[in-house]
A and B are shown apart, each in its own frame.
Chain A
Protein backbone atom coordinates (compact mmCIF):
# COMPACT_ATOMS: atom_id res chain seq x y z
CA UNK A 1 0.00 0.00 0.00
CA UNK A 2 1.20 3.45 -0.79
CA UNK A 3 1.40 5.83 2.12
CA UNK A 4 0.06 9.33 1.71
CA UNK A 5 1.28 11.97 4.14
CA UNK A 6 -1.39 13.69 6.27
CA UNK A 7 -0.55 17.02 4.60
CA UNK A 8 -1.16 15.54 1.17
CA UNK A 9 -4.42 13.95 2.29
CA UNK A 10 -5.49 17.33 3.63
CA UNK A 11 -4.55 18.98 0.36
CA UNK A 12 -6.60 16.47 -1.62
CA UNK A 13 -9.59 17.00 0.65
CA UNK A 14 -9.31 20.77 0.55
CA UNK A 15 -8.97 20.98 -3.17
CA UNK A 16 -11.81 18.66 -4.10
CA UNK A 17 -13.67 20.20 -7.04
CA UNK A 18 -16.98 20.76 -5.28
CA UNK A 19 -15.35 22.88 -2.64
CA UNK A 20 -13.66 25.11 -5.17
CA UNK A 21 -16.87 26.19 -6.86
CA UNK A 22 -18.37 29.56 -6.14
CA UNK A 23 -21.90 29.89 -4.86
CA UNK A 24 -24.38 30.30 -7.68
CA UNK A 25 -27.69 32.04 -7.32
CA UNK A 26 -30.77 33.45 -8.98
CA UNK A 27 -31.96 36.66 -7.36
CA UNK A 28 -35.35 38.10 -8.36
CA UNK A 29 -36.24 41.73 -7.60
CA UNK A 30 -39.50 40.47 -6.06
CA UNK A 31 -40.47 37.17 -4.47
CA UNK A 32 -44.12 37.99 -3.80
CA UNK A 33 -46.39 40.22 -5.86
CA UNK A 34 -49.90 41.54 -5.32
CA UNK A 35 -50.23 42.70 -8.92
CA UNK A 36 -49.05 41.33 -12.27
CA UNK A 37 -45.60 42.85 -12.81
CA UNK A 38 -42.28 42.30 -14.50
CA UNK A 39 -39.64 40.81 -12.23
CA UNK A 40 -35.95 41.15 -13.09
CA UNK A 41 -33.79 38.18 -12.15
CA UNK A 42 -30.00 38.31 -11.69
CA UNK A 43 -28.02 35.14 -12.26
CA UNK A 44 -24.48 35.24 -10.92
CA UNK A 45 -21.76 33.24 -9.19
CA UNK A 46 -19.99 34.80 -6.24
CA UNK A 47 -18.56 34.15 -2.81
CA UNK A 48 -20.23 37.20 -1.30
CA UNK A 49 -24.00 36.98 -0.93
CA UNK A 50 -25.76 38.62 -2.85
CA UNK A 51 -23.02 40.54 -4.58
CA UNK A 52 -22.81 39.97 -8.32
CA UNK A 53 -19.37 38.82 -9.38
CA UNK A 54 -19.40 36.48 -12.37
CA UNK A 55 -22.10 35.93 -15.01
CA UNK A 56 -23.86 32.58 -15.37
CA UNK A 57 -25.12 31.26 -18.74
CA UNK A 58 -28.79 32.06 -19.36
CA UNK A 59 -29.09 28.93 -21.50
CA UNK A 60 -29.27 27.06 -18.18
CA UNK A 61 -32.42 28.91 -17.10
CA UNK A 62 -36.00 27.76 -17.45
CA UNK A 63 -39.14 29.23 -15.90
CA UNK A 64 -42.36 27.33 -15.29
CA UNK A 65 -45.60 29.22 -14.73
CA UNK A 66 -47.96 28.02 -11.96
CA UNK A 67 -49.86 25.96 -14.55
CA UNK A 68 -46.68 24.40 -15.91
CA UNK A 69 -46.14 26.40 -19.11
CA UNK A 70 -42.68 27.58 -20.06
CA UNK A 71 -42.48 31.33 -19.46
CA UNK A 72 -40.37 33.34 -21.91
CA UNK A 73 -37.18 35.04 -20.73
CA UNK A 74 -37.21 38.73 -21.66
CA UNK A 75 -34.30 41.12 -22.23
CA UNK A 76 -31.62 38.49 -21.68
CA UNK A 77 -28.26 40.00 -20.87
CA UNK A 78 -24.97 38.32 -20.11
CA UNK A 79 -22.61 41.00 -18.88
CA UNK A 80 -19.14 40.82 -17.38
CA UNK A 81 -20.43 40.59 -13.79
CA UNK A 82 -23.92 39.13 -14.02
CA UNK A 83 -26.53 37.72 -16.29
CA UNK A 84 -30.06 39.01 -15.98
CA UNK A 85 -33.45 38.65 -17.58
CA UNK A 86 -37.01 39.88 -17.17
CA UNK A 87 -39.92 37.68 -16.29
CA UNK A 88 -43.50 38.78 -16.83
CA UNK A 89 -45.49 37.41 -13.93
CA UNK A 90 -49.11 37.16 -15.10
CA UNK A 91 -50.62 33.98 -13.66
CA UNK A 92 -51.65 33.86 -10.01
CA UNK A 93 -49.67 31.27 -8.07
CA UNK A 94 -46.04 30.30 -7.84
CA UNK A 95 -43.49 30.45 -10.66
CA UNK A 96 -40.51 28.10 -10.56
CA UNK A 97 -37.25 29.64 -11.82
CA UNK A 98 -34.57 26.95 -12.30
CA UNK A 99 -31.10 26.71 -13.73
CA UNK A 100 -29.30 23.48 -14.44
CA UNK A 101 -27.07 21.92 -17.03
CA UNK A 102 -25.42 18.64 -17.90
CA UNK A 103 -23.10 17.28 -15.19
CA UNK A 104 -19.63 18.78 -14.98
CA UNK A 105 -16.67 16.41 -14.81
CA UNK A 106 -13.37 16.81 -13.03
CA UNK A 107 -10.19 14.84 -13.37
CA UNK A 108 -7.15 14.61 -11.15
CA UNK A 109 -4.03 12.64 -11.97
CA UNK A 110 -0.31 12.55 -11.35
CA UNK A 111 2.51 13.00 -13.79
CA UNK A 112 6.09 11.91 -13.27
CA UNK A 113 8.18 14.89 -12.24
CA UNK A 114 5.22 16.90 -10.92
CA UNK A 115 4.84 17.06 -7.16
CA UNK A 116 1.30 18.45 -7.23
CA UNK A 117 -1.67 16.52 -8.61
CA UNK A 118 -2.80 17.79 -12.03
CA UNK A 119 -6.43 18.81 -12.54
CA UNK A 120 -8.87 19.50 -15.28
CA UNK A 121 -12.58 20.02 -15.76
CA UNK A 122 -15.03 19.84 -18.61
CA UNK A 123 -17.07 17.12 -20.25
CA UNK A 124 -16.01 13.52 -19.73
CA UNK A 125 -15.21 12.73 -23.37
CA UNK A 126 -12.87 15.70 -23.72
CA UNK A 127 -11.19 15.05 -20.36
CA UNK A 128 -10.50 11.47 -21.39
CA UNK A 129 -9.25 12.48 -24.83
CA UNK A 130 -6.89 15.08 -23.38
CA UNK A 131 -5.47 12.90 -20.63
CA UNK A 132 -1.68 12.90 -21.11
CA UNK A 133 0.12 9.62 -21.72
CA UNK A 134 1.81 8.50 -18.50
CA UNK A 135 -0.87 9.92 -16.21
CA UNK A 136 -1.23 7.85 -13.04
CA UNK A 137 -3.75 7.80 -10.19
CA UNK A 138 -6.39 9.07 -12.61
CA UNK A 139 -9.63 9.91 -10.83
CA UNK A 140 -12.77 11.32 -12.36
CA UNK A 141 -15.51 13.10 -10.45
CA UNK A 142 -18.98 14.09 -11.58
CA UNK A 143 -20.86 17.15 -10.34
CA UNK A 144 -24.59 17.89 -10.56
CA UNK A 145 -26.07 21.26 -9.73
CA UNK A 146 -29.50 22.85 -9.58
CA UNK A 147 -30.16 26.50 -8.79
CA UNK A 148 -33.69 27.64 -8.00
CA UNK A 149 -35.90 30.41 -6.76
CA UNK A 150 -39.65 31.00 -6.65
CA UNK A 151 -41.85 34.00 -7.36
CA UNK A 152 -45.50 34.18 -6.34
CA UNK A 153 -48.36 36.37 -7.54
CA UNK A 154 -51.18 36.53 -4.97
CA UNK A 155 -51.66 33.31 -3.00
CA UNK A 156 -48.66 30.94 -2.77
CA UNK A 157 -49.37 27.62 -4.43
CA UNK A 158 -47.54 24.44 -5.35
CA UNK A 159 -45.10 25.31 -8.13
CA UNK A 160 -45.43 23.19 -11.28
CA UNK A 161 -43.17 20.13 -11.28
CA UNK A 162 -40.43 19.93 -13.88
CA UNK A 163 -41.01 16.20 -14.29
CA UNK A 164 -37.36 15.61 -13.46
CA UNK A 165 -36.67 14.15 -10.03
CA UNK A 166 -32.98 13.43 -10.62
CA UNK A 167 -30.34 14.83 -8.32
CA UNK A 168 -30.84 16.93 -5.24
CA UNK A 169 -34.06 18.95 -5.00
CA UNK A 170 -36.22 20.83 -2.51
CA UNK A 171 -39.80 19.62 -2.35
CA UNK A 172 -42.59 21.34 -0.47
CA UNK A 173 -43.02 20.12 3.10
CA UNK A 174 -44.94 22.34 5.55
CA UNK A 175 -43.53 25.68 4.41
CA UNK A 176 -43.86 27.61 1.19
CA UNK A 177 -40.65 29.26 -0.05
CA UNK A 178 -42.57 32.50 -0.70
CA UNK A 179 -44.25 32.65 2.72
CA UNK A 180 -41.38 32.84 5.20
CA UNK A 181 -41.43 34.99 8.35
CA UNK A 182 -38.98 35.49 11.19
CA UNK A 183 -41.57 34.42 13.80
CA UNK A 184 -42.07 31.01 12.18
CA UNK A 185 -39.58 28.21 11.60
CA UNK A 186 -39.68 26.78 8.10
CA UNK A 187 -39.75 23.10 7.22
CA UNK A 188 -38.33 22.06 3.86
CA UNK A 189 -37.85 18.55 2.48
CA UNK A 190 -35.08 17.42 0.18
CA UNK A 191 -34.93 14.50 -2.18
CA UNK A 192 -32.12 12.74 -3.97
CA UNK A 193 -33.31 11.08 -7.18
CA UNK A 194 -36.86 11.33 -5.85
CA UNK A 195 -36.14 9.63 -2.50
CA UNK A 196 -35.93 11.48 0.85
CA UNK A 197 -32.38 12.80 1.31
CA UNK A 198 -31.63 11.87 4.93
CA UNK A 199 -28.54 13.17 6.73
CA UNK A 200 -28.10 15.88 4.13
CA UNK A 201 -26.16 19.00 5.11
CA UNK A 202 -28.10 22.20 4.46
CA UNK A 203 -26.52 25.61 5.07
CA UNK A 204 -28.34 28.91 5.16
CA UNK A 205 -26.60 32.25 4.71
CA UNK A 206 -28.13 35.70 5.04
CA UNK A 207 -27.59 38.54 2.60
CA UNK A 208 -24.80 41.08 3.07
CA UNK A 209 -21.77 38.91 3.83
CA UNK A 210 -19.61 41.79 2.56
CA UNK A 211 -20.76 43.89 5.48
CA UNK A 212 -19.83 41.62 8.36
CA UNK A 213 -16.76 39.86 9.65
CA UNK A 214 -18.09 36.34 9.32
CA UNK A 215 -19.92 34.27 6.76
CA UNK A 216 -23.01 34.05 8.97
CA UNK A 217 -23.77 30.44 8.07
CA UNK A 218 -26.29 28.28 9.88
CA UNK A 219 -25.92 24.57 9.30
CA UNK A 220 -28.68 21.96 9.49
CA UNK A 221 -28.87 18.24 8.80
CA UNK A 222 -31.99 16.59 7.39
CA UNK A 223 -33.82 13.90 9.35
CA UNK A 224 -34.80 10.43 8.04
CA UNK A 225 -37.61 12.01 5.99
CA UNK A 226 -35.15 14.47 4.40
CA UNK A 227 -36.69 17.37 6.33
CA UNK A 228 -34.95 20.32 7.99
CA UNK A 229 -36.48 22.92 10.26
CA UNK A 230 -34.89 26.32 9.73
CA UNK A 231 -35.17 29.42 11.88
CA UNK A 232 -34.56 32.91 10.57
CA UNK A 233 -32.65 35.27 12.85
CA UNK A 234 -33.41 38.36 10.77
CA UNK A 235 -35.62 39.37 7.88
CA UNK A 236 -33.95 39.59 4.50
CA UNK A 237 -32.78 37.47 1.65
CA UNK A 238 -31.06 34.14 2.22
CA UNK A 239 -29.16 31.64 0.15
CA UNK A 240 -29.83 28.02 1.06
CA UNK A 241 -27.29 25.46 -0.09
CA UNK A 242 -27.63 21.69 0.16
CA UNK A 243 -24.64 19.59 -0.80
CA UNK A 244 -23.81 15.93 -0.93
CA UNK A 245 -20.73 13.94 -1.84
CA UNK A 246 -20.80 10.23 -2.78
CA UNK A 247 -17.86 7.84 -3.03
CA UNK A 248 -18.32 5.49 -5.98
CA UNK A 249 -16.67 2.36 -7.25
CA UNK A 250 -15.39 2.43 -10.77
CA UNK A 251 -14.10 4.97 -13.22
CA UNK A 252 -15.89 7.88 -11.59
CA UNK A 253 -14.67 7.90 -8.00
CA UNK A 254 -16.82 10.72 -6.65
CA UNK A 255 -20.14 12.29 -7.38
CA UNK A 256 -21.12 15.71 -6.03
CA UNK A 257 -24.59 17.20 -5.81
CA UNK A 258 -25.36 20.78 -4.98
CA UNK A 259 -28.66 22.63 -4.76
CA UNK A 260 -29.01 26.41 -4.29
CA UNK A 261 -32.24 28.15 -3.34
CA UNK A 262 -32.72 31.90 -2.91
CA UNK A 263 -35.31 32.88 -0.33
CA UNK A 264 -36.86 36.02 1.08
CA UNK A 265 -37.85 36.21 4.75
CA UNK A 266 -40.11 38.97 6.10
CA UNK A 267 -40.65 40.53 9.49
CA UNK A 268 -44.04 39.55 10.87
Chain B
Protein backbone atom coordinates (compact mmCIF):
# COMPACT_ATOMS: atom_id res chain seq x y z
CA UNK B 1 0.00 0.00 0.00
CA UNK B 2 1.25 3.45 -0.87
CA UNK B 3 1.04 6.06 1.84
CA UNK B 4 0.09 9.46 0.54
CA UNK B 5 0.88 11.14 3.82
CA UNK B 6 3.08 10.30 6.80
CA UNK B 7 1.35 8.10 9.39
CA UNK B 8 -0.40 9.98 12.18
CA UNK B 9 1.53 9.75 15.47
CA UNK B 10 -1.05 7.53 17.17
CA UNK B 11 -0.60 4.92 14.45
CA UNK B 12 3.16 4.98 14.81
CA UNK B 13 2.69 3.58 18.32
CA UNK B 14 1.11 0.47 16.83
CA UNK B 15 4.14 -0.39 14.71
CA UNK B 16 6.10 -3.31 16.07
CA UNK B 17 9.16 -2.37 18.07
CA UNK B 18 12.37 -3.06 16.26
CA UNK B 19 13.78 -6.36 17.43
CA UNK B 20 17.50 -6.59 17.93
CA UNK B 21 18.67 -10.12 17.50
CA UNK B 22 21.00 -11.42 20.20
CA UNK B 23 23.22 -14.45 20.30
CA UNK B 24 23.23 -15.91 23.82
CA UNK B 25 25.89 -18.16 25.26
CA UNK B 26 24.89 -19.51 28.67
CA UNK B 27 27.46 -21.50 30.57
CA UNK B 28 26.04 -23.28 33.54
CA UNK B 29 27.32 -25.74 36.08
CA UNK B 30 25.40 -28.66 37.52
CA UNK B 31 27.31 -29.37 40.73
CA UNK B 32 28.30 -32.92 41.61
CA UNK B 33 26.59 -34.07 44.81
CA UNK B 34 27.86 -36.44 47.43
CA UNK B 35 24.63 -38.18 48.27
CA UNK B 36 23.41 -41.73 48.63
CA UNK B 37 20.63 -41.28 46.10
CA UNK B 38 21.39 -39.04 43.14
CA UNK B 39 19.15 -38.19 40.22
CA UNK B 40 20.15 -35.72 37.55
CA UNK B 41 18.27 -32.43 37.91
CA UNK B 42 15.57 -31.19 35.59
CA UNK B 43 16.83 -27.86 34.22
CA UNK B 44 15.12 -25.01 32.37
CA UNK B 45 16.83 -21.96 30.84
CA UNK B 46 14.57 -19.20 29.55
CA UNK B 47 14.22 -15.42 29.05
CA UNK B 48 11.45 -13.34 30.64
CA UNK B 49 10.37 -9.83 29.73
CA UNK B 50 9.64 -7.05 32.24
CA UNK B 51 6.13 -8.49 32.76
CA UNK B 52 7.72 -11.81 33.68
CA UNK B 53 6.36 -13.50 30.59
CA UNK B 54 8.54 -16.11 28.93
CA UNK B 55 9.77 -14.75 25.61
CA UNK B 56 12.38 -17.39 24.77
CA UNK B 57 13.11 -20.98 25.76
CA UNK B 58 16.79 -21.86 25.57
CA UNK B 59 17.09 -25.26 27.23
CA UNK B 60 14.80 -27.84 28.84
CA UNK B 61 16.44 -30.94 30.25
CA UNK B 62 13.65 -33.17 31.47
CA UNK B 63 12.61 -36.75 32.07
CA UNK B 64 9.23 -37.93 33.37
CA UNK B 65 6.39 -35.63 32.39
CA UNK B 66 4.69 -35.92 35.79
CA UNK B 67 7.52 -33.98 37.40
CA UNK B 68 7.84 -31.16 34.80
CA UNK B 69 5.68 -28.98 37.05
CA UNK B 70 8.32 -29.21 39.78
CA UNK B 71 10.33 -26.67 37.76
CA UNK B 72 7.74 -24.47 39.33
CA UNK B 73 8.92 -21.01 38.27
CA UNK B 74 9.34 -22.16 34.70
CA UNK B 75 5.94 -23.88 34.82
CA UNK B 76 4.25 -20.79 36.24
CA UNK B 77 5.74 -18.36 33.73
CA UNK B 78 4.77 -20.33 30.64
CA UNK B 79 5.99 -23.92 30.87
CA UNK B 80 2.47 -25.19 31.52
CA UNK B 81 1.28 -24.05 28.08
CA UNK B 82 4.34 -25.09 26.15
CA UNK B 83 3.96 -28.04 23.80
CA UNK B 84 6.89 -30.42 24.15
CA UNK B 85 9.22 -31.44 22.66
CA UNK B 86 10.74 -28.21 21.36
CA UNK B 87 13.32 -28.82 18.65
CA UNK B 88 16.81 -27.83 19.68
CA UNK B 89 15.62 -26.91 23.19
CA UNK B 90 14.17 -29.88 25.06
CA UNK B 91 16.12 -33.04 25.71
CA UNK B 92 17.30 -35.50 28.31
CA UNK B 93 18.77 -34.51 31.67
CA UNK B 94 22.50 -33.86 31.85
CA UNK B 95 25.28 -35.12 34.07
CA UNK B 96 26.94 -32.92 36.68
CA UNK B 97 29.55 -30.66 35.09
CA UNK B 98 29.79 -27.59 32.87
CA UNK B 99 27.32 -27.19 30.06
CA UNK B 100 27.04 -24.58 27.34
CA UNK B 101 23.76 -23.48 25.81
CA UNK B 102 23.85 -21.36 22.67
CA UNK B 103 20.71 -19.73 21.35
CA UNK B 104 19.58 -16.76 19.32
CA UNK B 105 16.61 -14.59 20.05
CA UNK B 106 15.19 -11.43 18.56
CA UNK B 107 14.36 -9.08 21.43
CA UNK B 108 13.05 -5.52 21.29
CA UNK B 109 15.18 -3.18 23.41
CA UNK B 110 14.03 -3.38 27.01
CA UNK B 111 14.34 -5.02 30.41
CA UNK B 112 14.63 -8.80 30.63
CA UNK B 113 15.91 -11.57 32.82
CA UNK B 114 17.76 -14.73 31.98
CA UNK B 115 16.44 -17.55 34.19
CA UNK B 116 17.96 -20.87 35.14
CA UNK B 117 16.00 -23.26 37.34
CA UNK B 118 17.07 -26.72 38.49
CA UNK B 119 15.15 -29.26 40.55
CA UNK B 120 16.36 -32.68 41.59
CA UNK B 121 14.39 -35.72 42.77
CA UNK B 122 15.07 -36.26 46.49
CA UNK B 123 17.24 -33.16 46.26
CA UNK B 124 16.61 -29.45 46.21
CA UNK B 125 15.49 -26.73 43.87
CA UNK B 126 17.17 -23.49 42.86
CA UNK B 127 16.11 -20.67 40.57
CA UNK B 128 18.57 -17.97 39.48
CA UNK B 129 17.22 -14.88 37.80
CA UNK B 130 19.71 -12.57 36.10
CA UNK B 131 18.21 -9.22 35.04
CA UNK B 132 19.61 -7.33 32.05
CA UNK B 133 18.90 -4.36 29.80
CA UNK B 134 18.99 -5.17 26.13
CA UNK B 135 19.78 -2.29 23.79
CA UNK B 136 21.71 -4.14 21.15
CA UNK B 137 25.03 -3.76 23.00
CA UNK B 138 27.11 -6.78 23.97
CA UNK B 139 26.66 -7.86 27.62
CA UNK B 140 28.37 -10.17 30.06
CA UNK B 141 26.38 -11.38 33.05
CA UNK B 142 26.92 -13.89 35.79
CA UNK B 143 25.39 -15.38 38.90
CA UNK B 144 26.47 -17.88 41.51
CA UNK B 145 24.23 -20.72 42.58
CA UNK B 146 24.30 -22.08 46.11
CA UNK B 147 22.75 -25.52 46.01
CA UNK B 148 21.51 -27.08 42.78
CA UNK B 149 23.40 -24.72 40.44
CA UNK B 150 27.00 -23.59 40.30
CA UNK B 151 28.36 -20.56 38.47
CA UNK B 152 26.38 -19.24 35.55
CA UNK B 153 27.82 -16.89 32.96
CA UNK B 154 25.87 -15.34 30.12
CA UNK B 155 27.21 -13.44 27.14
CA UNK B 156 24.98 -11.61 24.71
CA UNK B 157 26.29 -10.30 21.45
CA UNK B 158 24.28 -8.56 18.78
CA UNK B 159 23.76 -10.80 15.81
CA UNK B 160 25.70 -9.85 12.70
CA UNK B 161 23.43 -8.03 10.28
CA UNK B 162 23.30 -9.76 6.89
A214's nearest neighbour on chain B, judged by CB, is: B124
Contacts A213-B147, A214-B147 given: A19-B36 contact, CB under 8 Å?
Answer: yes
Chain A residues with a Cβ closer than 8 Å to the other chain, count: 7
Evaluate contact between B125 and A213: CB separation under 8 angstroms. Answer: yes
Q: Which B residues touch A213, using CB under 8 A?
A: 124-126, 147
Would you call A161 an interface residue if the criterion is a C-beta within 8 Å of the partner chain's C-beta atoms? no
Shortest CB distance B96–A (Å): 11
A53's nearest neighbour on chain B, judged by CB, is: B66
Q: Which B residues touch A59, using CB under 8 A?
A: none
Shortest CB distance A150–B (Å): 26
Would you call B121 an interface residue if the criterion is a C-beta within 8 Å of the partner chain's C-beta atoms? yes
* Residue of A19, A47, A213 contacting most chain B CB atoms (<10 Å): A213
B32's nearest neighbour on chain A, judged by CB, is: A10
Shortest CB distance B93–A (Å): 14
B119's nearest neighbour on chain A, judged by CB, is: A213
Q: 0/1 per residue, A1-34, Cβ < 8 Å to B?
A: 0000000000000100001100000000000000
Evaluate contact between A47 and B121: CB separation under 8 angstroms. Answer: yes
Shortest CB distance B157–A (Å): 33
Evaluate contact between A47 and B122: CB separation under 8 angstroms. Answer: yes
Q: 0/1 per residue, B44-82, Cβ < 8 Å to A?
A: 000000000000000000000000000000000000000
Q: Which A residues touch B38, using CB under 8 A?
A: 14
Shortest CB distance A247–B (Å): 16
Contacts A213-B147, A214-B147 given: A20-B37 contact, CB under 8 Å?
Answer: yes
Cα–Cα distance between A19 and B123 once the two chains are bound (Å): 13
Q: Which B residues touch A19, using CB under 8 A?
A: 36-37
Interface hits, B114-147 → A, CB 8 Å: 121-126, 147
Shortest CB distance A220–B (Å): 15
B95's nearest neighbour on chain A, judged by CB, is: A7
Q: 0/1 per residue, A202-219, Cβ < 8 Å to B?
A: 000000000001110000
Q: 0/1 per residue, B18-50, Cβ < 8 Å to A?
A: 000000000000000000111000000000000
Q: Which residues of A contact B (CB under 8 A)?
A: 14, 19-20, 47, 213-215
14 sample A-B contacts, Cβ–Cβ < 8 Å, listed by A number: A14-B38, A19-B36, A19-B37, A20-B37, A47-B121, A47-B122, A213-B124, A213-B125, A213-B126, A213-B147, A214-B124, A214-B125, A214-B147, A215-B123
Q: A213-B124, A215-B122 are in contact. List 10 more A-B contacts (CB 8 A).
A: A14-B37, A14-B38, A20-B37, A47-B122, A213-B125, A213-B126, A213-B147, A214-B124, A214-B125, A214-B147
Nearest first, the 9 closest Cβ-Cβ pairs linking A and B are: A19-B37, A214-B124, A213-B125, A19-B36, A47-B122, A14-B38, A213-B124, A47-B121, A215-B122
